Structure formats: structure tokens, C-alpha cells
């Protein structure tokens, strides 16, 4: 991985056949698993900017599409919970985040979370559990 794409101050951690990009990702993964949720790691991919042709220096150039792969996905019925581990946001992340949020705006069954700590992850998991109970109770 080039220096441009490296996560700031991140140490890679391997567990359960995955290589997490940071200790925060690993901690969030284990917190989700310990809470009893089935969790997917980097299993989805969204196109957040289509590819296009542009003229640069009087030459036509193909600009490749830009993709987003969420850190974690929890599926509950028709609802998909996306969990993004964020320690130190980079300048690149600030722009990508805007594109991601705009893309997810058109996905009504997706709920997006950004997580910075274990405590915050536990609160979110508690919310997801209550949403599941509310969904189950309202279906009866």
C-alpha cells in the first residue's frame, strides 16, 4: 500500500482470516462479534463516482470510477447497517465521506454509522438491537 493510502498511525491486525487495517477495526470487529451479530468485513462495494472522459492538457483522458467499500456490514432483515471505523480523518476521507453520504442518500434500506471508539460501538449495537425488536413487535 502506498503512503497516500496508509491509515494514519494504524497497525495492521490479523484475526479470523481477515487483515484489519487498524487496531480500531479489529476492536470494532470483536465488539460486534461478542454482541452476537453476524458481521461482514469489507463485503460490499458502492460506486460513489462514475468514470468519465475529460480533456486534460488538450488530450482526452479516461477518469476511472471511484468506489467505496464499507468496513463492516450487519444485515437485519431488509435493513443493512454500515459501520465505518474512523480514527483520524484525513483530507481525502473528508471528500470521500461527502460522496459516500450522497450515494447512500438514495439507498433507503441502509443505515450508516461512523465509529471512533468501543463505547460508541456498544451504543450503536444497542440501538440496532432495539430497532430489531421494534421491527419484530410492529410486524405482529
Per-residue pLDDT of the chain (140 residues; tens, 9 = 90+): 444 555 566 799 999 999 999 999 999 999 999 999 999 999 999 999 999 999 999 999 999 999 999 999 999 989 999 999 998 888 899 999 999 999 999 999 999 999 999 999 999 999 998 885 455 544 43
* pLDDT value of position 87: 83
pLDDT of residue 85: 94
Domain that holds residue 23: 9-139
Q: How many domains does the chain have?
A: 1
Query: Is 25 part of any domain?
Result: yes
pLDDT at 51: 97
Q: Residue 12: which residues within 8 A CB-CB, separation 6 or more?
A: 19, 20, 21, 22
Which 3 state secondary structure label does DSSP give 26? helix
Residue 123 lies in a domain: yes
Provide the CATH number for the domain around residue 131.
Answer: 3.40.1350
- CA 7/CA 87 separation, integer angstroms: 9
Cell of 3: 503512503
- Neighbouring CB atoms inside 10 A of 31's CB total 20
Q: List the alpha helices (DSSP H) in the chain.
A: 23-34, 91-104, 118-139
- pTM value is 0.82
Residue 127 lies in a domain: yes
Amino acid at each position: 500500500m502506498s503512503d497516500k493510502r496508509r491509515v494514519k498511525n494504524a497497525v495492521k491486525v490479523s484475526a479470523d482470516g481477515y487483515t484489519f487495517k487498524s487496531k480500531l477495526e479489529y476492536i470494532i470487529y470483536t465488539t460486534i462479534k461478542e454482541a452476537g451479530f453476524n458481521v461482514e468485513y469489507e463485503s460490499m462495494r458502492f460506486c460513489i463516482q462514475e468514470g468519465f472522459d475529460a480533456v486534460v492538457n488538450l488530450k482526452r483522458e479516461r477518469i476511472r470510477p471511484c468506489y467505496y467499500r464499507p468496513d463492516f456490514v450487519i444485515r437485519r432483515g431488509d435493513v443493512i447497517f454500515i459501520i465505518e471505523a474512523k480514527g483520524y480523518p484525513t483530507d481525502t476521507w473528508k471528500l470521500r465521506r461527502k460522496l459516500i453520504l450522497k450515494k447512500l442518500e438514495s439507498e433507503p434500506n441502509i443505515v450508516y454509522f461512523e465509529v471512533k471508539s468501543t463505547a460508541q460501538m456498544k451504543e450503536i449495537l444497542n440501538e440496532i438491537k432495539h430497532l430489531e425488536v421494534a421491527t419484530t413487535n410492529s410486524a405482529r
